[in-house]
Amino acid sequence: AIEGASNWLEFVCIEDTGWVGYQQPGVGTSAIAAVGIMCRCLLGWRADSPFLQRSAGIVAEDKEWNNKSLNYYFVYQATLAMYQMGGKFWDDWNKKMSDYMIGVQIDKGCEKGSWDVDFAEHYKSRVYTTALSALSLEVPYRYLPFAR
């Protein structure tokens, strides 16, 4: 299974650009680039790998994650990836993500402490948005930085 996962990543990753595909080489989103970072880290790649550095740059440059609607899936995957990358990638991402997520958290009424479903086109329910938001904010408390 590990060899198969590694072979699949070799197929869908474009080494010189850092892009990771979903079903075809390099045809993916910045969220899929973040997933690719985590997968390669789990396979033993180090954060200083040129490919992972390029992929982290793609994730870091994404300006759409909180533009019109909050993509909770991207936020969680990017947080996992940037935490493993560490350094400036993590410091910059954690600051902007944490500030933003805390800023849009509901702070009144019976929904206090949750994240709004009306704010996102990428949602399933208030349980989904709140779970991914809390998990994103908890990454440094739940995982070890094993790729650094």
pLDDT of residue 116: 85
Who's near 2: CB < 8 A, 6+ residues apart?
A: 43
pLDDT of residue 98: 97
Residue 17: both structure tokens together: 């650009």
d(CA 58, CA 29): 9
Long-range contacts, 32-35 (Cβ 8 Å, 24+): 33/58, 33/59, 33/81, 34/59, 34/74, 34/77, 34/78, 34/80, 34/81, 34/82, 35/77, 35/81
pTM over 0.85: yes
The answer to whether residues 13 and 49 touch, using CB atoms and an 8 Å cutoff, is no
pLDDT of residue 51: 97
pLDDT of residue 65: 82
pLDDT of residue 121: 64
Instruction: Please work out, in degrees rounded to the nearest 5, the angle formed at the alpha carbon of residue 62 by the alpha carbons of 61 and 64.
Output: 145
- Taking alpha carbons only, the member of 86, 80, 97, 103 closest to residue 33 is 80
One digit per residue, the tens of pLDDT, for the chain of length 148 reads: 899 999 999 999 999 999 999 999 988 999 999 999 999 999 999 999 999 999 999 999 998 888 767 888 999 999 999 999 999 999 999 999 999 999 999 999 999 999 988 665 666 788 999 999 999 999 999 999 998 8
pLDDT of residue 10: 95
The answer to whether residues 114 and 104 touch, using CB atoms and an 8 Å cutoff, is no
